Structures are given as C-alpha cells and as structure tokens.
C-alpha cells in the first residue's frame, strides 16, 4: 500500500507561476531577482494557508539556481535545485521559531551565518512563525539582521505582524499576503480534481472555497475529506452534509416567505432547521449573507462580488429581481440586529422567531407607508381619476369647470357658519327694485374686486398638511385654540393690544388656573418644572402681581425659560391682561454645627449657663 500524500503537499507550488492568488508579490520578487535588487531581509506576513512559506522556499531555490530561465524560474536541473528538491541543500536553512524561540537558538543561528556557502551564491535562512521569538531572542537577532554578511539573506514568515517589535520590522522588506479569492480556490480545486480523475460539481467546489475562508491549504484539506466520503465524486449534497452547512434552498425559501408575508412558513422552516441539528445563530448569520448576496445581484457591476457559480448564481438573479432594494436593506438591518443581540438573549429561539416575524412584516409596513394620502389632497385624486377619460371629455369638463366657481376643500379646521343674506322673498321692497344700469368702468372695478376676493378665499381655504415631528410636546399642543383670546375675537395678537382688561382677580381663581397650567406642564414631561410650580402656592399681591417663592437659582432659570408661555396662559384664562409673575428665592440661615470639643462646650453653656460656673469652680480644662 503506497503512502498517501495529502493534496496540500502533493500540489504545493514549486515555481512563482504556480502560486495561487498572489500575483503582485510574485511579480515583485521575480523583478528583484532579475535586476539583482535583493534585500538582506524579507518579511512575509498574512493569514494561514496563503503561500508565505511556499514563496519563501521558491525564492530561496531561485536565488541559488545556476541556470535561471528567461521567465525567472529555477531550472530544477542544476546541483543547487536538485539538492533543494531532495531536502539536502546546505545553503538553505529553515528554523521553526515556535519551537526554537529562546535566545540560545538565535545565537546558534548567528554562528551558522558566519560560515560562507559551499555551493551557490547565497545562504538563505527561513524563519517560520517568527513572532513566537522571545524578546531576548529578538534583541540578540537585531545586529545580525541589520548588518549581515553579503552572502546571507533572511526570510521571515509570520501570521501576526503586530507581535513583532518595530526594530525588526524596520530592517525588513514587508510583503503582505492577502486571502485567496473564492473563484481562484474553486478553479484550483477543479484542476486538482481533473488530475486525480474525480468528478466534481461546481456548486460543491464553491462551498468548499467559502468554507476555507481564503486559505488554499484548508480548501485542499476539505477537498481530501470530501473525496474520502464520495470516493470518486464530490457532490453538493455530500459537501453540505459533511460540513454541517445549511443548504441554499433554506435561505431561498426564507426570502420567499418574507416576500409573501407568510409568518407561518417562516417559523415552520426555522423549526425544521433546528430539528436537523443546526444552530440558530448560524441560520441568522447565513440569512444575513444570503440577503447581502441578493443585494449584490441587483446591479451588474456588483454581480462579481457574488461568491457562487453555476445554477445557484442564476437562482440568485431570479430572486433578486423579485426583491426591492429598500426591502433588502431593511431586512439586512433587522437580521444584523438579531445577530448582534443573539448572545445576550435568554431565550435564543424566541429571539430569532421575533426577528423572523419582523422580516415577514417589512412589506406590510412599506405598503402602509407608501400609500398616497389621497384624502389630504382631493384635487390630485380627481385628476388621477380623470386621467383615464378621453381627451374630448376632459376638454368639455374643463370648459364646464371654468364656467362654475372652483370648489375648495378645508379639512383641518371646522367650517365657519356664514351669515345668510336675506332672500328676496322675505323683503318685498327688494322685489320692486330694478337693477340699475352700470357703467363699463364700474363693471370692470367690480370684476377686479371679485377676482381678488376669490383668490384670497382660495388661499385662506387651501388645505394644510401636518408634518410629524419627533420633538417633545410643547404647551401649545395642549392648549385648545378656543382658549386663546385672540382666536375668540378673530384678530391677531397685535390687534388685541388695545383691548386689555384690568379686572380684579381672586386668589382662588389664580390657584385654579395655576393648577391647570401645572398639569399641562406635567403632560409635556417637564417634571422638574412641575415640581417647582406645585411645591408652593402662588401669592396674589396688589396690581395683579403673582409672587412665587422658590428655593434656588436653578428653579429660577426654569421659570425664566417658561415665563412667556406662563404669562400668556394666565392672561388668557384670567380676566386681567396685566398679570405679572415674580419669583423670590427663600433664604435659609444655616447654623454651623459644633465640631470641636470647645465649640460643643460653648453651645451647651449657652443653653445652660450653670455648666460654665461648674467649670470655673473646679478649675477644669476643656482639653
């Protein structure tokens, strides 16, 4: 039985051209070799399984190759290349810093650096997981790294660049390796499957690539696992079954339930997922990713961001056409909130079910808010109804409307009762009067006045729309329009200044109106001001002057800010327009408490003088 070699080792890249997903780094290294601009120290950093150590080995092999090709690749035939391929090279040294992280290990490495290479031009030292070195080892390595021999090149590799001290970073050329794209991993797996004569499905390879999270080594390991399960084929169903991944169909059904506003199907689908052994948190995160993919499919330019292929890509496009952008954004917001608060919730299942109910109610909320408020603008409603009529009928209707007076609507305010002029039948004298003939100029002037009056009436009776404001309620929201004196008289406040009344008011009337105003303040949420108004009873002085005793300056500032509304309310509800409110801060004498023994004795002597006589008779000290 032959020894099995895992795909990650069997198909490990041996040249720069076979490195997957790092074109910028390989191009830079090839140009450096071509132009002989090699640095003394390289630092390869990035996530696991992206080719850091592989590129370090390829660089070391190519540098010492005696017959470099025109494409800047090793020949694999010279003495240096053959010794490297058989792991017997004396010029390339690898050190695992995870297990050799002490200062003595670095000192031994420094001793080796002093020896010149026997074959080839350079001695290359590859230190993997360099961030695991101790601080003493880093400090011992600094001088050699800064001024190494001309034949020594150091290649450091790490997954945690932030753990390396800055003095090491400043002495290296840093190359940041990125995660490998899903498409690149899927294509590489497909090539490996062809070489191994394994039948694969495109959707299965994409699922493996997504599960690998940018690591080609992890993807190849998962691929070997799937091959062991399916023997000669890798199918989509086998992959999702072995990797404990929810099928795409679950998410498509969940979005269909959202579109149909079907809460029942959404909850039953979630129950089926839990019965199959899947975690609720994984479901909600997968649903968020599915909604994101649908949003990506809304635009042709962003379609390349969809990490799926084959039939599933077409299925995404089909469902994305049914969903509006606003719906997807709202659903993403709800699912993201549910994901964030999942760990903090006590009842996990109820938490996700509430989120699913909110998702299924999005369309109902959007339909209610998007319906036009036709009742607020009957003119638009009439125009929309007329738009379906024939043009000839519309012209006849327009001529008819031109002859008749235009109708206006008033919804917000109640209709006022208009004075009905006496009819001609009630007044016999009017019947006997004949209409006088008027001059042409008089008729023109009357027509102008009628036009101005109709314009004014239409402006005054124009329907008003009320906009919602999330601000806190003010006093004007609770005061009825009929309570304001200027609305009773039908004149503006400026016109009422001459009609001021100075009748005498009583203390009981003042307390009644004061209490009403305090209750209004309480409804607006100003509890501190309500406490200030109700803690003391206002005192009515001469000349209708109201005095309120308060405790501190903070209460005074609150009353100053509310003074305008307070005066307006008192003057509109009491038979006097000259009411004024003044505040008086109550001053309290604070007596200092005795602290020392001398102060306590003096206080006792003031209350009982015989104590001091007793002290004098016996010549006692207070100490």
Q: Is the pLDDT of residue 588 over 60?
A: yes
pLDDT at residue 446, rounded to an integer? 54
DSSP string, 428-491: HHHHHPPPPP--HHHHHHHHHHHHHHHHHHHHHT---------SPP-GGGTS-GGGSHHHHHTS
Q: What is the dihedral of CA 357, 362, 367, 370, to 10 degrees?
A: 150
Nearest CA to 161 among 46, 50, 52, 48?
A: 46
Phi, psi of 417 (to 5 degrees): -75, 125
Q: What is the Cα–Cα distance from 433 to 437, expressed in whole angstroms?
A: 12
What share of the chain has pLDDT > 70, as a percent? 77
β-strand partners of 576: 502
pLDDT tens, position by position, 118-152: 777 889 999 999 999 999 999 999 888 888 888 99
Nearest CA to 90 among 69, 108, 127, 64?
A: 64
β-strand partners of 199: 233
Question: In the CATH scheme, what is the homologous superfamily, with its name and number, of domain 7-176?
Answer: P-loop containing nucleotide triphosphate hydrolases (3.40.50.300)
pLDDT at residue 338, rounded to an integer? 93
Taking residues 240-245, report their average pLDDT: 83
pLDDT tens, position by position, 502-561: 677 888 888 888 888 888 888 888 888 888 888 888 888 888 888 888 888 888 888 888
Phi, psi of 199 (to 5 degrees): -80, 130
CB-CB neighbours of 250 under 10 Å: 18
**Mean pLDDT rounded to a whole number for the chain:** 78
* Domain range annotation of the chain: 7-176, 182-242, 248-368, 476-585, 590-623
Pairing between strand 199-200 and 173-176?
Answer: unpaired
pLDDT tens, position by position, 424-457: 444 444 334 444 444 545 545 555 555 444 444 4
Taking residues 89-100, report their average pLDDT: 87
Contact indicator for 190, 200 with CB cutoff of 8 Å: yes
More confident residue, 230 or 46: 46
Pairing between strand 41-45 and 173-176?
Answer: parallel
Residues 6+ apart with CB under 8 A from 89: 64, 80, 83
pLDDT at residue 117, rounded to an integer? 85
Helix (H, G, I), strand (E, B) or coil at 324: coil
Residues 6+ apart with CB under 8 A from 437: none
Q: Is the pLDDT of residue 473 over 80?
A: no
pLDDT at residue 336, rounded to an integer? 92
In sequence order, which ranges of 505-595 are alpha helices (DSSP H)?
A: 507-523, 527-535, 553-573
Helix (H, G, I), strand (E, B) or coil at 322: helix
Q: What is the Cα–Cα distance from 44 to 63, expressed in whole angstroms?
A: 17
R_g of the chain, CA atoms, integer Å: 45
pLDDT tens, position by position, 302-356: 887 887 766 788 888 889 989 988 899 999 999 999 999 998 889 999 999 999 9
Q: What is the Cα–Cα distance from 19 to 55, expressed in whole angstroms?
A: 8
Taking residues 232-245, report their average pLDDT: 85
Lowest mean pLDDT among 273-287, 407-421, 566-580: 407-421
pLDDT tens, position by position, 146-193: 888 889 999 999 999 999 999 999 999 999 999 998 889 999 999 999
Helix (H, G, I), strand (E, B) or coil at 271: helix
More confident residue, 23 or 311: 23
At 589, is the pLDDT very low, low, confident or very high (cuts 50, 70, 90)? low
Helix (H, G, I), strand (E, B) or coil at 173: strand
CB-CB neighbours of 611 under 10 Å: 12
- Give CA angle at 22 (221, 148), nearest 5°: 105
pLDDT at residue 247, rounded to an integer? 83
Its CATH class, for the domain covering 182-242, is mainly alpha
Sheet containing strand 580-585, edge to edge, reads 539-540, 545-550, 580-585
Q: What is the Cα–Cα distance from 250 to 289, expressed in whole angstroms?
A: 13
3-state percent breakdown (helix, strand, coil) of the chain, nearest 5: 55, 10, 35
Phi, psi of 20 (to 5 degrees): -95, 130
Q: What is the Cα–Cα distance from 181 to 191, expressed in whole angstroms?
A: 16
In sequence order, which ranges of 261-310 are alpha helices (DSSP H)?
A: 263-275, 280-296
**CATH architecture assigned to 248-368:** Up-down Bundle (1.20)
pLDDT at residue 332, rounded to an integer? 92
CB-CB neighbours of 200 under 10 Å: 24
């Amino acid at each position: 039985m032959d020894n099995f070699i895992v795909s990650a080792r069997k198909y490990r890249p041996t040249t720069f051209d076979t490195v997957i997903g790092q074109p910028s780094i390989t191009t830079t290294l090839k140009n450096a070799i071509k132009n002989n601009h090699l640095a003394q120290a390289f630092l390869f950093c990035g996530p696991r399984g992206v080719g850091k150590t592989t590129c370090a080995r390829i660089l070391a092999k190519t540098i010492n190759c005696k017959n470099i090709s025109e494409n800047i690749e090793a020949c694999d035939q010279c003495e240096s290349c053959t010794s490297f391929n058989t792991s017997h090279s004396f010029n390339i040294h690898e050190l695992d810093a995870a297990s050799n992280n002490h200062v003595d290990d670095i000192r031994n490495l420094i001793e080796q650096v002093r020896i010149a290479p026997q074959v080839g031009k350079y001695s290359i030292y590859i230190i993997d997981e360099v961030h695991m070195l101790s601080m003493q080892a880093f400090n011992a390595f600094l001088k050699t790294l800064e001024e190494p021999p001309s034949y020594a090149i150091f290649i450091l590799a790490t997954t945690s660049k932030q753990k390396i001290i800055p003095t090491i970073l400043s002495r290296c050329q840093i190359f940041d390796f990125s995660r490998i794209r899903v498409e690149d991993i899927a294509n590489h797996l497909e090539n490996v499957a062809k070489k191994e004569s394994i039948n694969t499905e495109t959707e299965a390879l994409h699922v493996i690539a997504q599960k690998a999270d940018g690591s080609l080594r992890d993807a190849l390991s998962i691929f070997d696992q799937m091959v062991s399960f399916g023997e000669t084929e890798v199918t989509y169903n086998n992959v999702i079954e072995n990797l404990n991944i929810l099928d795409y169909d679950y998410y498509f059904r969940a979005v269909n339930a959202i579109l149909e506003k079907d809460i029942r199907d959404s909850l039953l689908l979630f129950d089926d997922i839990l019965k199959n052994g899947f975690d609720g948190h994984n479901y909600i995160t997968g649903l968020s990713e599915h909604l994101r993919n649908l949003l990506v499919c809304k635009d042709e330019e962003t379609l390349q961001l969809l990490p799926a292929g084959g039939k599933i890509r077409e299925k995404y496009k089909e469902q994305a056409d049914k969903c509006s952008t606003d719906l997807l954004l709202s659903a993403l917001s709800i699912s993201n909130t549910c994901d964030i608060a999942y760990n903090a919730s006590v009842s996990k299942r109820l938490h996700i079910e509430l989120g699913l109910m909110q998702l299924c109610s999005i369309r109902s909320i959007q339909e209610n808010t998007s319906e036009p408020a036709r009742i607020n603008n009957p003119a638009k409603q009439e125009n929309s109804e007329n738009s379906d009529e024939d043009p000839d009928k519309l012209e006849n209707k327009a001529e008819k409307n031109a002859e008749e007076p235009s109708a206006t609507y008033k919804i917000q305010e109640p209709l006022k009762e208009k004075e009905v002029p006496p009819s001609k039948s009630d007044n016999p004298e009017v019947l006997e009067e004949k209409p006088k003939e008027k001059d042409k100029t008089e008729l023109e002037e009357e027509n102008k006045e009628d036009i101005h009056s109709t314009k004014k009436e239409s402006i005054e009776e124009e329907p008003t729309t009320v906009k919602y404001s999330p601000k806190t309620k003010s006093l004007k929201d609770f005061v009825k329009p009929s309570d304001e004196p200027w609305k009773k008289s039908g004149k503006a406040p400026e016109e009422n200044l001459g009609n001021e009344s100075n009748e005498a008011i009583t203390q009981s009337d003042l307390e009644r109106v004061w209490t009403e105003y305090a209750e209004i303040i309480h409804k607006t949420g100003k509890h501190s001001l309500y406490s200030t108004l109700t803690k003391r009873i206002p005192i009515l002085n001469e000349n209708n002057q109201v005095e309120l005793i308060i405790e501190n300056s903070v209460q005074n500032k609150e009353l100053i800010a509310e003074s305008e509304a307070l005066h307006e309310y008192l003057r509109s509800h009491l038979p006097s327009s000259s009411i004024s409110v003044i505040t008086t801060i109550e001053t309290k004498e604070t007596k200092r408490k005795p602290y020392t023994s001398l102060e306590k004795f003096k206080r006792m002597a003031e209350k009982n003088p015989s104590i001091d006589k007793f002290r004098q008779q016996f010549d006692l000290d207070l100490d």
